[in-house]
Structure 1
Amino acid sequence: MDTMSVDVATDRPAGSAAVARDSARFFLEGLVPTLASEAADTVLLGVSELVTNALRHGGGTRTLDLTANPGSIEVAVHDYSPHVPRMRTPDLNGGTGGFGWLMVNRLATATAVTRRATGGKPVRALLPR
């Protein structure tokens, strides 16, 4: 099993999703056997959405953890908020979002959120390999 933990810069919110995607891409490129391009794209989209959600709704990102399992890639984004993500009706006209958590749940075979007594939470998604 391959594991990588990456600290995502929270002092540059505009660049954090890009930094997370670059870190995930580097992790995926090191996997043996390599991931099919469609599976890699799914993981990168999942990383991007989870980090963006942490930045917009979770007070920023603490860390991004990636774990390669035989049938999946586990993506865990740790944020500062005690509030769990919630499904919203996507806003097709006003630009207020509502697509991220819905998309993650459609891409993933499973999602989980665990509140921490010390504050914050990891939001995990198992994405097909």
Structure 2
Amino acid sequence: MDTMSVDVAIDHPAGSVAWARDRVRSFLEGLMPAPAAGAADTVVLVVSELVTNALRHGGGTCTLDLAARPDSIEVAVHDPSHHAPRMRTPDLDGGTGGFGWPMVNRLTTATSVTCRASGGKTVSASLPR
């Protein structure tokens, strides 16, 4: 099993999301066999959404863990907030969001949110490889 852990900096959240996307692409390209292009793009999108949500709603910092299994890619984003993501009606007029968590749930085979003993939470997602 291939694994990788990435720390996402808090000082430039937009840059941190782009940096996380780059790290995910490098991780996926290093797998043997590498996931198909469409599957890889979906993993990158899910990571982008989860990291963005963690930085925006989870306290401004997060850690990203990736693991490759024979049939799946596992993504885990840890942040210091105890508040779980929630489904809400997307804001089509005010630009306040609401699209990310529903999209993550549609694109993945499973998601979970667990409280961490050290505080905060982990949002996990499993995607087909």
TM-score class, shorter: over 0.9
RMSD (Å), alpha carbons: 0.9
* 2:70 alignment partner in structure 1: 70
5+ residue gaps, structure 1, are none
Task: Determine the C-alpha separation between the residues in 2 that align with 1:23 and 1:122.
Answer: 19
Once the two structures are TM-superposed, the CA of residue 117 in structure 1 deviates from its matched residue by 2.7
Matched with 1:58 is: 58
**Counterpart Cα distance in 1 of 2:123 and 2:86:** 12
Q: Measure, in 1, the Cα distance between the counterparts of 2:87 and 2:104.
A: 11
Percent pairwise identity: 77
Q: Which residue of 1 aligns with 2:30?
A: 30
TM-score scaled to structure 2, two decimals?
Answer: 0.96
- CA shift, 1:128, in A, is 1.2
> The residue matched to 1:114 in structure 2 has which SS?
strand
TM-score under structure 1 length normalisation: 0.96
* Partner residue in 1 for 2:46: 46
Q: Distance in 1 between matches of 2:37 and 2:56?
A: 28
Alignment partner, residue 117 of structure 1? 117
1:61–1:77 CA contact under 8 A, matched in 2: no
Instruction: Give the aligned partner of residue 10 of structure 2.
Output: 10
Give, in angstroms, the shift of residue 62 of structure 1.
2.6
Distance (whole Å) between structure 2 residues aligned to residue 34 and residue 70 of structure 1: 11
Is the contact made by 1:65 and 1:76 (CA closer than 8 Å) also made in structure 2?
yes
The CA distance in 2 between the partners of 1:23 and 1:60, in whole Å, is 19
Moved over 4 A (4+): none
* CA-CA distance at 1:16 after TM superposition: 1.0
SS in 1 for 2:122: strand
1:87 partnered with 2:80: no
Of residues 96-105 and 113-122 in structure 1, the stretch that sits farther from structure 2 once superposed is 113-122
Aligned length, in residue pairs: 129
94-103 vs 58-67, which moves further? 58-67
Q: How far 1:116 moved relative to its partner?
A: 1.4
SS in 2 for 1:32: coil
Give me the whole-angstrom Cα distance separating, in 2, the residues matched to 1:17 and 1:9: 9
